[in-house]
């Protein structure tokens, strides 16, 4: 990354790496989206090309599915009780 790793903890180094990686993917995704739009694709979004944004979207979908399941179980009177 171009800096001395000595004063940083392993966690801090990971955060630095991940931040830089996300920034580089944002740049790459923007270029890919622009090229796709120029080639005639309709409704192109950066999220389609950005793996971190896809990961967040999947995490949100999983969370929503768990919430809906809990709501359905609560409605049916099952709850989280195991006998």
d(CA 23, CA 30): 11
Asked if residue 5 is part of any domain, the answer here is no
The structural domain count of the chain equals 1
**70 DSSP assignment:** H
Instruction: Report, in angstroms and rounded to the nearest whole number, the Rg of the chain calculated over CA atoms.
Output: 20
Query: Would residue 22 count as lying in a domain?
Result: yes
Q: Is residue 4 part of a domain?
A: no
User: pTM of the prediction?
Assistant: 0.56
Residue of higher predicted confidence among 46 and 10 = 10
In this prediction, residue 79 has a pLDDT band, given cuts at 50, 70 and 90, of low
82 domain-assigned = no
For residue 66, tell me if it sits in a domain: yes
Q: Which domain holds residue 14?
A: 10-75
Q: What is the pLDDT of residue 52?
A: 79
19-76 per-position pLDDT tens digit: 898 889 889 989 999 999 999 988 888 888 888 777 766 777 777 788 888 887 887 7
- Pairwise pLDDT comparison (40 vs 3), residue with the higher score: 40
Q: Is residue 47 part of a domain?
A: yes
């Amino acid at each position: 990354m171009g800096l001395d790793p000595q004063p940083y903890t392993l966690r801090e180094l990971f955060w630095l790496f991940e931040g830089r990686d996300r920034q580089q993917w944002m740049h790459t995704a923007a270029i890919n989206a622009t090229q796709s739009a120029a080639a005639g694709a309709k409704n192109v979004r950066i999220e389609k090309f950005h793996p971190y944004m896809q990961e967040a979207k999947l995490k949100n979908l999983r969370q929503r599915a768990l919430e809906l399941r809990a709501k359905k179980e609560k409605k049916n009177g099952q709850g989280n009780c195991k006998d």
